[in-house]
Amino acid sequence: METGKIEALIKIYPHKDFLPCAVAHYIAASLGITPKEVGESATGMKVKLDQCQLGLYGYGRKNISDYKILGRPVKLTEEELSRIRAAAKDGKISCKELWEIADAAKIPRAEIGNAADSLGLKIGPCQLGAF
């Protein structure tokens, strides 16, 4: 994929220095490329990825305000929490796996991210390459 097309779509977003996770995924889907390609282009353009759909980053200024939106009480069923535990390997679970669990259970992605965090799981890698 030509980087110019990716960069052109990133530049359309009104906040020049930030690109929300959902918009980055939309760009990837519309171009038929991987989210990581969009993330790499954004990084190359010095555009920061923002508003992680799992709640991990982009909700305030890092180290100053509520950068994450994790830490709320988890209200998932034991069955839903068991699915998360079963998908985790060595205390880690990928964003993609969490998305799949959330979408299958029709649970908001941020709620799944919060649940994984409450279980003490390390979340990663990021589909956009943010971490």
The tens digit of pLDDT for each residue in 34-64 reads: 999 999 999 999 999 999 999 888 887 776 6
**What's the number of domains the chain is made of?**
2
Mean pLDDT of 3-30: 93
Rounded CA gap, 37 and 49, in Å?
13
Instruction: Flag whether 24 is in a domain.
Output: yes
Asked, for residue 11, whether it belongs to a domain, the answer is yes
Final residue belonging to a domain, choices 34, 50, 66: 50
> Is 130 domain-assigned?
no
What's the rounded Cα separation, in Å, for the pair 45 and 69?
A: 26
C-alpha to C-alpha distance for 43 and 45, rounded to whole angstroms: 5
Q: How far, in whole angstroms, is CA 113 from its chain's centroid? A: 9
Residue 20 lies in a domain: yes
Burial classification of residue 105, based on how many CB atoms lie within 10 Å of its CB (0-12 exposed, 13-18 middle, 19 or more buried): middle
Indicate whether 46 and 10 sit together in one domain: yes
Residue 74 pLDDT class (50, 70, 90 cuts): confident
| Domain-located, residue 69 | no
Pairing of strands 122-123, 18-20: unpaired
Q: Are 112 and 81 in contact (CB under 8 A)?
A: no
Q: Does the structure show a pLDDT above 80 at 65?
A: no
Mean pLDDT taken over the chain: 91
Query: Residue 38: inside a domain, yes or no?
Result: yes
| Amino acid 66: pLDDT | 67
Q: What are the pLDDT digits (tens) for 84-97?
A: 999 999 999 999 99
In a domain, 22, yes or no: yes
pTM: 0.87
Residue 17 sits in which domain range? Answer: 3-50
Establish if 34 belongs to a structural domain: yes
Residues 44 and 82 in one domain: no
Between 72 and 1, the more confident residue is 72
